[in-house]
């Protein structure tokens, strides 16, 4: 009986696809990525401790304040991974593995409680001869604070599947 | 704070303690578990379900031994490698300035163990007297001695306060 419901659902549903194909990317095209993210104390402590990143400015607010910060500093690798994470659906969810990052710059320390936003621009697209079903797209991605000032930028390239 | 930074951190992790050309093997490794990958991938809202949908990967990579399972998000692979190197090369860091030439060479799956090595590439003065700038190259290897990732990392790092 319940199997009938499943069969019916599968026959009537449209799949709400997420992500973009190679053909969807044009040179200089820009993306404002979804959601934004407030970097909380919980995020920072979990990330810093699970990755064993032992610098007390990330895990000791008293120490960070003594260094002149307004509070505990967000581990810069968490800032990177959050901006990257926010960009995935638009850029690389339909793709191959992520192969590398270049020219990553941290413009300033981010403090726990700040909110960051992500945006990207297509800086290269090409079609490798070895993989006719894929293209390679390179993006410049920027993480912005609440005022729109950059806190991080980097470039990354991915294999991106062509439309089937 | 009633303590000083030197009370709370190692005595041998300052700008003066690194020489260009030296290679460091860091003391600890860490096994990348399902908890690490799924928790952190979801925490940073990376939406690619190859990192958190076992059923999808079983189907997508059917019959490809070792790959028909969730793959660890690559950003976590090099973040953990930097972390494994961080007590030695990051405890006195005032600011992480940037990274470059990050390359992911081998995929990581739940249960793989990562170790870190560091080469000191370059040291130079900073525009403040109490710190200098060091460029490191970090390498991550797995339990089978395969190179997992490599990256360059530039930091502003504290000089030892004269005793």
- Residues B84 and B74: their CA atoms lie apart, in Å, by 16
Residue B15 and residue A62 in contact, taking contact as beta carbons nearer than 8 Å = no
Q: Is A56 on the interface with B (CB under 8 A)?
A: yes
Cross-chain residue pair B103–A100, CB shorter than 8 Å: yes
Residue A51 DSSP code: T
pTM: 0.97
- Residues B19 and B26: their CA atoms lie apart, in Å, by 16
Which residue reads 């000032």 in tokens?
A: A149
Length of chain B: 163
Which among A153, A118, A146, A105 is positioned nearest to B95, based on CA atoms?
A105
**Domains of chain B with bracketed CATH:** 5-158 (3.10.129.10)
**Domains of chain A with bracketed CATH:** 20-37+75-161 (3.10.129.10)
Q: Is A120 on the interface with B (CB under 8 A)?
A: no
- Looking at chain B, which residue has its C-alpha nearest residue A80? B75
Q: Is A66 on the interface with B (CB under 8 A)?
A: yes
pLDDT 10s digits, B88-109:
999 999 999 999 999 999 999 9
Instruction: Tell me the pLDDT of chain A (164 aa) as tens digits.
Output: 679 999 999 999 999 999 999 999 999 999 999 999 999 999 999 999 999 999 999 999 999 999 999 999 999 999 999 999 999 999 999 877 778 999 999 999 999 999 999 999 999 999 999 889 999 999 999 999 999 999 999 999 999 999 98
End-to-end CA distance of chain B: 20
Cross-chain residue pair B86–A46, CB shorter than 8 Å: no
Which residue reads 């793959």 in tokens?
A: B71
């Amino acid at each position: 009986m319940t199997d009938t419901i499943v069969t019916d659902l599968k026959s009537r549903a449209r799949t709400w696809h997420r992500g973009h194909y190679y053909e969807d990317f044009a040179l200089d095209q820009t993306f404002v990525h979804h959601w934004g993210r407030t970097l909380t104390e919980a995020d920072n402590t979990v990330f810093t401790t699970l990755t064993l990143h032992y610098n007390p400015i990330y895990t000791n607010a008293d120490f960070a304040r003594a260094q002149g910060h307004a509070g505990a500093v967000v581990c810069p690798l968490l800032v990177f991974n959050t901006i990257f994470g926010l960009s995935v659906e638009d850029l690389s969810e339909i793709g191959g593995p992520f192969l590398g990052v270049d020219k990553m710059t941290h413009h300033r320390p981010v403090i726990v409680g700040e909110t960051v936003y992500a945006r990207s621009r297509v800086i290269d697209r090409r079609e490798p001869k070895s993989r006719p079903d894929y293209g390679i797209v390179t993006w410049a991605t920027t993480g912005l604070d609440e005022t729109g000032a950059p806190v991080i930028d980097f470039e990354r390239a991915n294999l991106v599947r062509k439309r089937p | 704070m009633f303590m000083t930074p030197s009370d709370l951190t190692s005595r041998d992790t300052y700008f003066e303690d690194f020489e260009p050309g030296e290679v460091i093997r860091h003391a600890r490794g860490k096994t990348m578990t399902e908890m690490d990958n799924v928790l952190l991938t979801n925490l940073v809202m990376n939406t690619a379900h190859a990192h958190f949908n076992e059923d999808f990967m079983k189907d997508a990579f059917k019959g490809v031994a070792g790959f028909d399972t969730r793959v660890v998000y690559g950003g976590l692979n090099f973040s953990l490698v930097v972390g494994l190197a961080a007590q030695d090369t990051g405890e006195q860091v005032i600011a992480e300035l940037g990274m470059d030439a990050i390359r992911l060479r081998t995929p990581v799956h739940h249960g793989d163990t990562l170790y870190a090595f560091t080469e000191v590439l370059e040291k130079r003065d900073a525009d403040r007297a109490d710190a200098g700038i060091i460029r490191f190259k970090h390498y991550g290897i797995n339990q089978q001695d395969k190179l997992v990732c490599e990256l360059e990392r530039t930091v502003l790092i504290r000089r030892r306060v004269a005793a």
